[in-house]
Amino acid sequence: MSEQTMQQPVAPTDGMPIATPAADEHTHGGVHDPNLHHSPEEIKREVRIYLLVFGSLAVLTGATVAARYLFDLPMGYAITVALIIAAIKASLVACFFMHLLSEKKLIYAVLALTAVFFAFLIWLPVHDMIDKMGK
């Protein structure tokens, strides 16, 4: 395949085995990374998954609008339902479109750390507000 014979000049790989194109294909430089699978069948299978996810996202979008218009829920429940549907949609985008399901531990670690700080940022200021309002 043409893309494998054209490579940038090999950078100093600090002594680690230089991955040849052929080796890359099968060993992926020693790392199991489904994203490096080049076989057309694998990719076509992935495309089918993408289209399935697209369908689910469209359905869920309709569902979230419908939930709001069809049912007259009290605000607390309405917020919960909306956020749950949003979380499901977000998970679909993240796991399949962004390949988070097959990502590396390093990326998971960065995201976990961010999630913790995000939680503090969301919770603490409003908790301060609630605390004051309660008095």
Partner 1 sequence: MALKRQVRVGNQWMYARDAWRTLEEARRVAHEEERHERQHELPFLRKYVFSTDHKVIGLQYGFTALCFLLLGFSLMILMRLQLGWPGHAFSVMKLIGEMRAPGGVLLPEAYNQLGAMHGTIMIFLGIVPLAVGAFGNYLVPLQIGAPDMAFPKLNMASYWCYVPGGLIMLSSFFYSGGTANSGWTSYPPLSDIATHGQTFWLCGMVFLITSSLLGSVNFIVTIIQLRAKGMTFMRFPFFVHAQLVTSFLLLLAFPPLEAAAVLQLMDRLAHTSFFLPTGLVVSGQVLGNAGGGNPLLWQHLFWFLAHPEVYVLILPAMGIVAEIIANNTRKPLWGYRSMVGAVVFLGFMSFVVWAHHMFLTGMGTVISAFFQTTTMIISIPSVIVLSALFISLWGGSIRFNVPMLFALAFLPMFGIGGLTGLPLGLATADLHLHDTYYVIGHFHYVVAPGTIFAMFAGVYYWFPKITGRRLNEFWGKVHFWISLVCINGIFFPMFMQGLAGVSRRLYDGGIQYAHAKSIAEQTNPFMSICAIGLLAAQIPFLINFFYNAIASLLGHRNEIENENPWHATTLEWAATTSPPLAHGNFHEVPIVYRGPYDYSVPGAASDWIPQHHETEAAPPTGGGMLPAVAVAQREM
Partner 2 sequence: MDAHAIDAVADHGHHEIAIPFNVTPRPDTGVYNAKLGIWLFLASEVMLFGALFSSLILLRTGAPSWPVGKDTLHVLPATINTFVLILSSVTVVLAWANLRLGDLRKGRIFIGITLLCGLLFMLIKAYEYSLSFEHHHFPSTNNFFGIYFTMTGLHGLHVLGGMIVFAYFLTFGSKMWKTEPARFTNRIEVVGLYWHFVDLVWIFLFPTLYLL
Q: Which residue has the tokens 């359905």?
A: 59
Work out which of 15, 40, 74, 76 binds partner 1, going by CB under 8 A. 15
- State yes or no: residue 31 binds partner 1 (CB under 8 A): no
Query: Which residues in 92-121 contact partner 2 (CB under 8 A)?
Result: 93-94, 97-98, 104-107, 110-111, 113-114, 117-118, 121
Q: Which residue has the tokens 């940022």?
A: 121
Q: Which of 125, 126, 103, 107 has its CA nearest to residue 115?
A: 107
- Give Rg (Cα) of the chain: 23
Work out which of 34, 70, 72, 79 binds partner 2, going by CB under 8 A. 79
Q: Residue 65: CB partners within 8 Å, gap ≥ 6?
A: none
Q: Which does residue 98 bind out of partner 2, partner 1, none, counting CB within 5 to 8 angstroms by kind?
A: partner 2
- State yes or no: residue 22 binds partner 1 (CB under 8 A): no
* Phi, psi for residue 11 in degrees, rounded to 5: -75, 160
Residue 46, classified by CB atoms within 10 Å of its CB into exposed (0-12), middle (13-18) or buried (19+), is middle
Q: Which residues here bind partner 2, judged by CB under 8 A?
A: 1-4, 6-14, 16, 19, 24, 28-31, 33, 35-36, 38, 40, 43, 46-47, 50-51, 53-54, 57-58, 61, 64-65, 68-69, 75, 78-79, 82-83, 85-86, 89-90, 93-94, 97-98, 104-107, 110-111, 113-114, 117-118, 121-122, 125-126, 129-130, 133
